[in-house]
Amino acid sequence: MATTGYTKDHEWVRIDGDTAIMGITAYAAEQLGDVVFVELPEVGKALKKGDGGAVVESVKAASDVYSPISGEVLEVNGALDASPQTVNEAPETDGWLMKLKMADAGEVDGLMDEAAYKDFVATL
């Protein structure tokens, strides 16, 4: 069964085995406004927890997306090149940004679960 964790920077990561799929939360997508471009990392790039992994540009601003965990980029969501608005339309499903091969599964323990993330967003 897949486990999903969230960061205070509004990234989500869904763990399935030793693979992690990540993106930005619906809250982050709403705050950004209409996404017009997504810059994704190269496949094979090693990311440490907290590294800037991608950039999401909207009509309002450009925002770095930080990797919630350490790992190697296995795949990026190439469909976002032609349809960056998918990040707004389905940020936690079809709007995923990248898949990582996890370097340290223990890093997931430091992330918030969905209930804790919803409580966090309610304070903003």
DSSP structure string for 80-123 = HHH-TTHHHHSTTTTT--EEEEES-GGGGGGSB-HHHHHHHHHT
Domain residue ranges of the chain, discontinuous segments joined by +: 3-104
Q: Do residues 54 and 69 make contact, with C-beta atoms less than 8 angstroms apart?
A: no
pLDDT tens per residue, range 84-97:
999 999 999 999 99
Task: Name the token pair of 71.
Answer: 């790992």
Percent of the chain with pLDDT over 70: 98
CA dihedral (87, 88, 94, 99) positive or negative: positive
Q: State in words which class domain 3-104 has.
A: mainly beta
Tell whether the model's pLDDT for residue 1 goes beyond 60.
no
Q: State whether residue 75 is helix, strand or coil.
A: strand
- Asked whether 77 and 96 are in contact (CB, 8 A), the reply is yes
Model-level pTM?
Answer: 0.94
| pLDDT level of residue 2 (50, 70, 90 thresholds) | low
